[in-house]
Structure 1
Amino acid sequence: MSDPLMKGCCHVVAIPYPGRGHINPMLNLCRQILKKRPEIVVSFIVTEEWLGFLPPPPHRSLSFHTIPNVIPSEIGRAKDFAGFITAVRTKMEAPVERLLDRLPPPKPKVIVYDTYLSWAVAVGNRRNIPVASFFTMSATVFSIFHHFDLIVQNGHFLSGSPDEGAKDEVIEYIPGISSIRIGDLPTPFHGKGKEVLPIALEAIKLAASNSQFLLFTSIHQLESQVLDFLKQSLPTKLYSIGLSIPQFYDDDDDDEARPGYMQWLDAQPLGSVLYISQGSFLSVSSAQLDEIVAGVRDSGVRFMWVGRGEDLAAIGNSNGIVVPWCDQLRVLCHSSVGGFWSHCGWNSTKEGAFAGLPMLTFPIFWDQVTNSKMIVEDWGVGVRVMGDRNYGLVSRKEIARIVVEVMRSETREANERKRRAEEIRDICRVASEDDGSSSLDLLGFIEDICE
């Protein structure tokens, strides 16, 4: 069989940021591109370490290519967040550029790069290859970073840790965003991550002004105001390509070997299970974890908990199961799952929306607090576990109360959350169909790069 690169008329190079929350969406984007145009060829660039984490390429026209491990290991990278970002920013460019010289022909039509790999813009410019910035957070967060100057001019960029009153102040001048509390801005604006804020601002600026294409993993109907504003105001071509979800999941999928956790879910009553995940990167404090464990147990609600390492022993399985990993979207779409406790990373936020689930939000860092605000206030499908004003330790009593409120309550508010969650689900799925807004936007991008 001949090498598909030799016969391909359109070669796409994909360079994800080296973290699971970035690599998975980029892989899903590549799958969607190849699903629509199988003759396209995709070269997917990762570190040697990351190649060991990935399954074989899911399509014969998708090939993995590696650079040396010039950055700290994925394992434990959260311990030095700023150091990891600095290494990615300064050490990956040269080996990626050398790798581009070794890729088989034809010459790439586009470099699709994660927005936070800002050096990829210069690489594309030097080689006369268009670049597409792939933003793995919400369009709302992009607009907040893009309008940082407005936040500074209005005196809302806080140099120290703000008091609770300052966090509650509402701002209404960011284009495309009706209103938002200072406390709901991404954490680099008022807390953790401020040391790498300049790097993020530079990346957003380059994406907005120097890339030829800007790809958002969002549904237009869910962020229409901000997406419309960005589309009208930015010089680059903007596409809202949806959730980057590779396929729909149904409970009756005919799997020859269903995982044990799926068999457990099959045996649970309809809508009775709370799925709990705090993400793959950051952790809560041990004291807070103890309160969460006790609160979930005291609620009496069935649960499926994805825990990491030391978390597993603490959680136990008195009224549920604990797993180190699962196919999250498949679990969320299972009929026995009735709620989603989430750290509110954008990938999890999108999957919760796609599954149509009420959500319990427990954000930790960066864009997660802004996503939590969108889930609770803009979409009306969630409850903040941390509360509107409480940024300290959340007690087990409060956690148990909120879990019961979301999972078992039949109040008007609870029923409205369920109705809104189903409405959001339908919006996501219609947009993802072949003639939906996200699918058509992705086709438009493909036509632009392969014309």
Structure 2
Amino acid sequence: MDSTGAEPTTVLHVVAMPFPCQGHINALMSLCKLLSSRKHNLLITFVVTEEWLRCIGSEPKPDNIRFASIPTVIERAKAVDFCGFNEVVKTKMEAPFEQLLDRLEPPVARIIADFELQWSFGVGIRRNIPLASLWTMSAAFFSSLHHYHVFAQAQPQLLPLHLIAALRNSGVRFLWVARGEASRLKESCGDTGLVVPWCDQLRVLCHPSIGGFWSHCGWNSTLEAVYAGIPMFTFPLFLDQVPNSRQIVEDWKIGWRVNRAQVGSEILVTKEDILELVQRFMELENCERKKTWKRARELKNVCHQAITEGGSSHSHLDAFVSDFLEVKNH
């Protein structure tokens, strides 16, 4: 007991290990922030590579979340070759992660790891540490893989510089996030475009000036657009992005699909298609646009109800805290 006569609070040390890509890091950090607000005796060590720590280490976070780093086994710029990037993550990241666990204090009581880090299951088993696996894609895609073992095949998809020309000529103001090419693209955007290497995407989408969101349809981006009530241009590249696009356009009806053209071995978007799509989508009196905006606002309301107290998402998170983070249950 302390001087007040109260029982001392036992700190539960949780290590969070994301797959080293922006969308996965964002998703796991969001979960950790929610958990830290639900359970005040948590200490969460959020593990990233040294390169990622330099990128996000100064971002605000709750006091009970701290960063720790492991060596950069592969630079994030090499994620464009996803198969090669994934192979390095699968084979080179486990050893430094285990070495970090040996150094952390207090002893690690729980691990939350990205589902893509399959080696984390072995770490948890060997060390007798309960582990939760974070699936960052949609439940529908998980069900497809589980029941039918369906894997979409990636193929090259490009947005050439004449995408830029179409946007500039459309007269529509745009914000373009281009991580590795911002400085090169700025020169081509004119007065209507702003190119940045990074932004707080959810904060941008929630701004009242945003009229649409061109997205590759990753699940994080999809959820953020739904939360903000913003219609989408869908441009899926591979894996779950393809069924996500279909859900956005055909099921929810809150987006328009970007058409592609086959040019040799590449799949491109023509300047004419971009210009026509953007102008039609941003025309305020367009009947189809009005219907899309109405459905986006309706889905936004459903999303916000789910995360309020008593909503489905709120209740499921409480159940996870009770099942996984309560010491008495283990």
Question: Residue deviations 1:315-334, cap 9 Å, x none?
Answer: 42332333332222111111
Distance 1:326 1:59, change over 3 A: same
Q: Do 1:8 and 1:106's aligned partners in 2 also have CA atoms closer than 8 Å?
A: no
Distance 1:339 1:400, change over 3 A: same
Distance 1:142 1:38, change over 3 A: same
Equivalent runs, 1:127-276 vs 2, <5 Å: 127-149=127-149, 187-188=152-153, 191-192=154-155
Shift of 1:137: 1.2
Shift of 1:23: 1.0
Does the residue aligned with 2:212 lie in a helix, a strand or coil?
Answer: strand
Q: Do 2:216 and 2:241's aligned partners in 1 also have CA atoms closer than 8 Å?
A: yes
Equivalent runs, 1:434-449 vs 2, <5 Å: 434-449=309-324
- In the aligned structure 2, how far is the partner of 1:126 from the partner of 1:299? 58
Q: Percent identity between the aligned chains?
A: 45
Question: 2:298 aligned with 1:427, yes or no?
Answer: no
Shift of 1:430: 1.4
Q: Do 1:352 and 1:359's aligned partners in 2 also have CA atoms closer than 8 Å?
A: yes
Shift of 1:15: 0.9
Equivalent runs, 1:278-289 vs 2, <5 Å: 285=158, 288-289=159-160
Q: Which of the residues 12, 16, 21 maps onto 2:18? A: 16
- For structure 1, which runs of at least 5 residues remain unmatched after alignment? 1-5, 152-185, 193-282
- In the aligned structure 2, how far is the partner of 1:369 from the partner of 1:385? 12
Shift of 1:362: 1.5
Does the residue aligned with 1:337 lie in a helix, a strand or coil?
Answer: coil
Q: Do 1:141 and 1:367's aligned partners in 2 also have CA atoms closer than 8 Å?
A: yes
Q: Do 2:166 and 2:271's aligned partners in 1 also have CA atoms closer than 8 Å?
A: yes
Q: Do 1:115 and 1:135's aligned partners in 2 also have CA atoms closer than 8 Å?
A: yes
Equivalence for 1:62: 65
Distance 1:65 1:302, change over 3 A: closer
- In the aligned structure 2, how far is the partner of 1:142 from the partner of 1:311? 38
**Matched letter for residue 422 of structure 1:** R
Equivalence for 1:248: none
- In the aligned structure 1, how far is the partner of 2:262 from the partner of 2:230? 24
Equivalence for 2:247: 374
* Number of aligned positions between the proteins: 314
**Matched letter for residue 92 of structure 1:** M
Does the residue aligned with 1:349 lie in a helix, a strand or coil?
Answer: helix
Does the residue aligned with 1:424 lie in a helix, a strand or coil?
Answer: helix
Return the TM-score normalized by structure 1: 0.65
The CA RMSD over aligned residues, in Å, is 2.4
Q: Do 1:22 and 1:114's aligned partners in 2 also have CA atoms closer than 8 Å?
A: yes
Question: Residue deviations 1:291-349, cap 9 Å, x none?
Answer: 32122223222222223426524542332333332222111111111111112122111
Q: Do 2:15 and 2:108's aligned partners in 1 also have CA atoms closer than 8 Å?
A: no
Shift of 1:421: 0.2
Shift of 1:123: 1.0
Equivalence for 1:327: 200
Shift of 1:76: 3.2
Structure 1: 4+ residue segments shifted above 4 A: 387-391
Equivalence for 2:5: none
Question: 2:300 aligned with 1:298, yes or no?
Answer: no
Shift of 1:101: 2.1
Q: Which of the residues 274, 295, 302 maps onto 1:399? A: 274
- In the aligned structure 2, how far is the partner of 1:366 from the partner of 1:302? 31
Equivalence for 2:91: 90
Return the TM-score normalized by structure 2: 0.87
Does the residue aligned with 2:68 lie in a helix, a strand or coil?
Answer: strand
Question: Residue deviations 1:87-140, cap 9 Å, x none?
Answer: 1111111221222222213441x2111000001111111122221110111112
- In the aligned structure 2, how far is the partner of 1:340 from the partner of 1:41? 36
**Matched letter for residue 414 of structure 1:** R
- In the aligned structure 1, how far is the partner of 2:46 from the partner of 2:15? 6
Distance 1:388 1:75, change over 3 A: closer
- For structure 2, which runs of at least 5 residues remain unmatched after alignment? 1-7
Q: Which of the residues 318, 322, 327 maps onto 2:191? A: 318
**Matched letter for residue 73 of structure 1:** E
- In the aligned structure 1, how far is the partner of 2:163 from the partner of 2:269? 8
- In the aligned structure 1, how far is the partner of 2:216 from the partner of 2:325? 38
Question: 2:14 aligned with 1:49, yes or no?
Answer: no
Q: Do 2:171 and 2:192's aligned partners in 1 also have CA atoms closer than 8 Å?
A: yes
Equivalence for 2:121: 121
